[in-house]
Amino acid sequence: MNESKAMILGCAGKSLTADEVRFFRDERPWGFILFARNIGEPAEIRDLVASMRDCVGRDDAPVFVDQEGGKVQRLRPPIAPNYPAGASVGELYRRDRGTGLRASWLLARLFAYDLRRLGITADCMPVLDVPVEGANDVIGSRAYGRDPRSVAALGRAAAEGLMAGGVLPVMKHIPGHGRATADSHLALPVVDAPLEALRVHDFAPFKALNDLPMAMTAHVVYTAIDPDRPATTSAKVIQDVVRGEIGFDGLLVSDDTSMKALSGDFLEKAAAILAAGCDLVLHCNGVMEEMAGIASLTGPLAGRSLERARRALDVVGRADETEEAMVRAEFANYFEAVA
């Protein structure tokens, strides 16, 4: 791992091109991420994942995906069922706390079965953002609810379900995307809430889960902390809030650098992300020219970042012995459509 660069990259299609193979072999990203464009038949996915790891010469190179359920679900039928969104789990929790927590754990445990059989070892969830009235719908039904305590409880259950299946969870979007009035895929959201409101509402779930192994940043400006830079490129947000107030000392990855919320070219983005204190730069769209820019400004994982990366990988592959059929049958009691 000590030769891996501090970046997670995507690819263009369902298999690697010769140029991608050469690039990944030369640049050695620490991990990879899959999107819908990369999802073919199960055998194709397994071959793609294996070829990614072969390029960097590491069997433990993590492969990530966004598999939350609801509208954000890269694996769909017939590869995996259509699963309910976080908001549906939240509704169960509001009716009966124990039922909701169990359903959240079961849902994540099912994700782990689906991912591991394809060689995918990391899932970018739970979503710990807590929406407010009037916020952009980019989070919407992805959120477990609008109460920080319930979001934290359900997020904890989901993370534990993934880890029980040997899959690395990535909580997002730290320190909170719930108030954003713009979609950060398209524009830079600016949040003007006072610091105390952020503390008790937005930061709270992340602080409650600050022991988790990995988190993804929010491309959001919080004017009460840093009026000039989004969290992803703000040393003040990363050091004072994420590492300080929230107390997160796990592996910190940026949200996607190809989103419109971040300005500048890809060399500038990578430099700003690493200078702010993120451990890893994430680039998702598979565009070679952009990845080359990221790679040119990204050095090898080292020091505390390397230690955090090693700790994060400790949870991968350590699955419990729970039988999948039993988990699916129990989950069907709550959501019959995905039995």
Tens of pLDDT, residues 54-94? 999 999 999 999 999 999 999 999 999 999 999 999 999 99
Which candidate in 226, 255, 256, 279 is catalytic?
255
DSSP state for residue 246 in the 8-state scheme? S
Q: Tell me what the mean pLDDT of segment 242-248 comes to.
A: 98
- pLDDT for the residue 228: 94
Q: Tell me what the mean pLDDT of segment 319-331 comes to.
A: 95
pTM above 0.85, yes or no: yes
Q: Report whether pLDDT(339) > 70.
A: no
Query: Given its phi and psi angles, is residue 28 left (phi above 0), alpha (psi -120 to 50 degrees) or beta?
Result: left
For this structure, is 228 an active site residue?
no
Count the domains in the chain.
1
For this structure, is 201 an active site residue?
no
- What is the secondary structure of 37-95 as a DSSP string? GG--SHHHHHHHHHHHHHHHT-TT--EEE-EEETTEESS-TTTSPPPPPHHHHHHHHHH
Both tokens of residue 213? Answer: 């192994």
Q: Tell me what the mean pLDDT of segment 172-188 comes to.
A: 86
Task: Note down the domain range covering 143.
Answer: 5-338
Q: Sorting pLDDT into bands at 50, 70 and 90, what band is 1?
A: very low
Domain of 284, CATH number, reads 3.20.20.300
DSSP state for residue 104 in the 8-state scheme? H
CA atoms of 87 and 127, how far apart (whole Å): 11
Q: Report whether pLDDT(136) > 80.
A: no
Torsional sign, CA 145, 147, 148, 150: negative
- Nearest CA to 261 among 187, 191, 177? 187
Q: Sorting pLDDT into bands at 50, 70 and 90, what band is 186?
A: confident
Which candidate in 185, 192, 211, 314 is catalytic?
185
Residue with the two structure tokens 């609008």: 146
CA atoms of 256 and 268, how far apart (whole Å): 14
